[in-house]
Amino acid sequence: MGKGYGFEAANAVLNYAQKELKLTTILGITLEENTASQKLLEKIGLRQIDTIFIEGDKEELLLFSNEISSEQQTSLG
């Protein structure tokens, strides 16, 4: 089991990006089989929004974002 360093680092970067850099959209990308990274991204408030392929790469990647799409907002209520 991890010691929480990944969460602390990811959370610090997220806070810096939002508060200091004033970024409103934060993205995360991970491999589908990397469930630990998926859980970490969700723990810091990102949600999976799509699957993507990078040109020249054969692996499907999961795309996460802190923004809720209008389609997701409609399904929430």
Report the CATH number that the domain containing residue 48 is assigned in CATH: 3.40.630.30
Q: What is the C-alpha to C-alpha distance for residues 6 and 37, in angstroms, rounded to an integer? A: 9
Strands of the sheet containing 47-53, edge to edge, are 27-31, 60-65, 47-53
Per residue of the chain (77 residues), what is the pLDDT tens digit?
678 899 999 999 999 999 999 999 999 999 999 999 999 999 999 999 999 999 998 899 999 999 854 454 444 44
> How many structural domains comprise the chain?
1
pTM of the model: 0.79
- In terms of residue numbers, what domain contains 43? 5-76
- Sequence-distant (6+) residues with CB within 8 A of 30 are 37, 38, 41, 61, 62, 64
Whether 40 contacts 6, CB under 8 Å:
yes
